[in-house]
Amino acid sequence: MNDRIKTILMMLALVAIGFLAGFATHRTVVASKIKRVAALKSAEGFEAQLMNRINLDEAQKMQVKPIIEKYADKISRASQEARQLRKMMVDSMHSEMKPFLNSEQIEQLDNFSRRFRTYKKGQSHLHTGKRDATGTTEQ
Q: How far apart are CA 114 and CA 133, in angstroms?
A: 22
pLDDT value of position 139:
40
Average pLDDT over residues 112-128: 59
Dist CA 106 CA 99 (whole Å): 9
What stretches of 13-134 adopt beta strand conformation (E)? Answer: 130-131
Which residues, other chains included, contact 75 with Cβ-Cβ below 8 Å and sequence gap of 6+? 43, 46
Q: How confident is the model at residue 133 (pLDDT cuts 50, 70, 90)?
A: very low
In three-state secondary structure terms, 131 is: strand
Beta bridge partners of 130: 138
pLDDT at 30 over 80: yes
Q: How confident is the model at residue 124 (pLDDT cuts 50, 70, 90)?
A: very low
- What is the tens place of the pLDDT at every residue in 33-54? 877 777 777 788 888 888 888 8
Mean pLDDT of 118-130: 49
Task: Give residue 1's pLDDT.
Answer: 66
pLDDT in tens, 61-119: 899 999 988 888 888 888 889 889 988 998 999 999 999 999 999 999 988 888 766 65
Q: What is the pTM of this model?
A: 0.49
Q: pLDDT band at 122, cuts 50/70/90?
A: low
User: What are the structural domain ranges in the chain?
Assistant: 1-39, 41-122
